[in-house]
Amino acid sequence: MKKLILTLAAVAMAFGMMAQNVKTVPENVDVKTLDGKTVQTSVIKNDGKPIILSFWATWCKPCNKELDAISEVYEDWQAETGVKLIAVSIDDVKSSARVKPWVNGKGWEYDVYLDANQEFKRAMNVVNVPHTFVINGKGEVVWEHTSYVDGSEAELFEVVKKAMEAASEAE
Amino acid sequence: MLIAALVAFGLTSKAQNVLGGGQVSGNIQLDGQISRADSLIGSENVPEKLLMNARADILYTNGNFSAGLRFEAYQNPMLGFNAAYKGQGIANYFAAYNGEKLGITAGNFYDQFGNGMILRAYEDRYLGLDNSIRGFNVKYRPIEGITLKGVIGQQRVYWDYGQGIVRGLDGEINLNSVIKPFAESKTRITLGAGFVSKYEADETVPSSVPGYKLNIPQNVGAASVRMDLSHGGWGLQAEYARKGQDPNVLNDYIYHEGEALFLSASYSQKGFSANVQAKRVDNMGFKSVRSQSGEMLYINYIPAITKQHTYAFLTLYPYATQNTGEMGLTGDVMYKIKKGTVLGGKYGTDIHFNASWIAALDTTTIGGRGTEGYTATYFGTGDAYYADATVEVAKKFSSKHKLVATYGYVLFNPIVEGHAGDMHHNHVFIADYTWKINKKNVLRLEAELLESDSKYTPEVDDKRCGDWIMGLVEYNFTSNFFACFSDQYCYRDGNGANYPQLSVGYTHNATRLQLGYGKQREGIICIGGVCRQVPASNGLTFSLTHSF
């Protein structure tokens, strides 16, 4: 009986509130900069322009393919839409010390944060990496996708452009 | 349990009436297998035919307030998961306020002090690990650059909570934020310190001297100091931890104090990076229940510093940290040969070199249970546990063709997995080729070969094999659909084990469905554009994940 009540509670909670849903990024989850300083996720801002929020790890090959591929066209994407890519590494202490040299060595021009105990990952309901979000100028998640295959960054950029256009139409 | 129901009901009503707005998010995961027996890979015939793990996290957020719960069901637990998970119910719940300065969580929480050497509450759903602490967690940030934390609670063990109470305090300061003239300095410094104490009531543990019992400490403390220093492309991280006398089942009730040191130095610039890490661990197994063996109820986390490989044959013999004592070194160098040079070609060539070496401490035994146990020299080493070296060359030939070639050497001592056997040497050769046929179609081919001096010895381990060969074909249609066939075959000095596996998957936004048929070895698998840990299976497997 207890179990039934609990199950019903969970279901009620899920469905009772599902209706009113616009996903945003929580403000006060702790993450670290590559220099080791603790900051809150309120730093994830881009002056009303779109953001690509990408969860990745050094050991994740598709993640690295995605970030490498975007890196090659990042300047063009920025020039066209003002988009900013924020890469959140979920490497735990096994590999978190490798992230900074990894990012510099790759020459990625992204803002990178460390989420070594995966609090931010949990807050964003990320299950597997890569998991990529597109956030519009109002801070709303307008698209998310898990998995990357060579070439699928083109689809991502289409979404970013749409988010950009929607924002300028609203103005 | 009833509290969980109340919290859930309370939240539902709050969300609709009092607070208004707010948002609900969550994720659902279902994993199942219909497995057939196979002694070679360790899968068994199960009377229930279907094994399934399921979980759903539901998170409610409204401004600075959030609350969540997790429903888990193991009907029955899949292969590789502890049978104690059997059952279902609301496993975790919490309510939290997270303001700019103050954060409070009541209920289950995860947290980490520094590198986790004295405290790390974390979960790994694919490994069936959850040592979350149920209790209170308070974070306070008086000014920018200072974070203070306090935690108290008991740790989850399957569907229960360990009787030990974990208490901890941690402080961290970023000098550049706090000292004004230092704000713009190129040198960035963060310092931190933490203290953790465990309380567990006395219990009777017989001494090695008949008729006597051990004098067990009810409170055990551990402390650590750490720093993170960087200057331009240079970086240095260090943490040192000590633990008081903690006789427990991991160290067979000896009174030797625990100690751990972690060092990491790196230099990087665009196109080049180097990183060296060193670690020494001495009797640092720290659990909230002293009689608990196995993987649960760890308060701290001592990471394996060896590289996390993802190619199948490089993960065949993975290293596992020896909390009782080990010493290790690892190094990583990445270099990009520039575009337009002879070796770099049109796109440049990436070279990645990595090597690790881990050995036992150099110890002298004093006595058994109830004594200091042993003494250890600081820099001396005993038997090698593990060593590896890999070279990876990634070369893009054109916008359509890319090849990653890898050579790896692995030295493995079976004692790290807790069983006897000879140390063996393995050579691994891998070719990973990607052909982007056009905008929507991508083909990936992978071939691996493992040459080992390990021999098949049925008395010791019927899963062992000497030499392996593997082939993989993966076809992707955009990032939405994939099909993959792979086969691993023990072709020499072994039991002839064969692992053919067919997988297909469909991904739409944050929903992913994957089906597999065949034999699968446990480990990290990166196909269809994501990486995840999978359990051993023989038969049909399915997996559904969805985030909302």
Model pLDDT, residue A72? 93
* For residue B378, pLDDT beyond 50: yes
How is domain A26-170 classified at the CATH fold level? Glutaredoxin (3.40.30)
Within B137-201, residue ranges assigned H as helices are 175-178
Q: Are A72 and B246 in contact (CB under 8 A)?
A: no
Question: Rounded to whole angstroms, what are the CA distances from B536 to B35, B81, B516, B523?
Answer: 10, 10, 12, 8
Q: Are B199 and B218 in contact (CB under 8 A)?
A: yes
HSE (side-chain half, CA atoms, 13 Å) at B36: 6
Determine contact: A116 vs chain B, CB below 8 A. Answer: yes
pLDDT band at B2 (very low <50, low <70, confident <90, very high): very low
Contacts of A24 in chain B (CB under 8 A): 23
Model pLDDT, residue B357? 97
Model pLDDT, residue B526? 73
Chain A, window 83-102: residues with a beta carbon less than 8 angstroms from a chain B beta carbon: 92-95, 97-98, 100-102
Range with lowest mean pLDDT among A80-89, B76-85, B250-259: B76-85
CB contact under 8 A, A6 and B1: yes
Average pLDDT for residues B404-430, to the nearest whole number? 90
Model pLDDT, residue A9? 57
CB contact under 8 A, B228 and A98: no
Beta bridge partners of B491: none
Tokens of B298: 């760890």
* CA-based nearest distance B91→chain A, Å: 11
pLDDT single digits (tens) A102-140: 999 999 999 999 999 999 999 999 999 999 999 999 999
Q: What's the CA gap between B132 and B129, in Å, rounded?
A: 9
For CA atoms B310, B267, B188, A63, the dihedral sign is negative
pTM for the full predicted model: 0.92
β pairing state of B133-140 and B146-157: antiparallel
CB contact under 8 A, A6 and B264: no
Range with lowest mean pLDDT among B111-125, B158-172, B332-346: B332-346
pLDDT band at B523 (very low <50, low <70, confident <90, very high): confident
- Selected residue of A3, A6, A33, A142 to mutate for chain B interface (largest B Cβ count, 10 A): A6
Determine contact: A104 vs chain B, CB below 8 A. Answer: yes
Beta bridge partners of B238: B227, B263
CB contact under 8 A, A107 and B271: yes
Candidate from B22, B69, B531 with C-beta closest to A62? B531
Q: What's the CA gap between B212 and B233, in Å, rounded?
A: 59
Chain B residue with CA closest to A59: the answer is: B308
Average pLDDT for residues B176-188, to the nearest whole number? 94
Q: What's the CA gap between B285 and B246, in Å, rounded?
A: 9
Average pLDDT for residues B316-327, to the nearest whole number? 88
Question: B76 preceded by cis ω (within 30°)?
Answer: yes
pLDDT single digits (tens) B63-110: 899 999 999 999 989 888 899 999 999 999 999 999 999 999 999 999
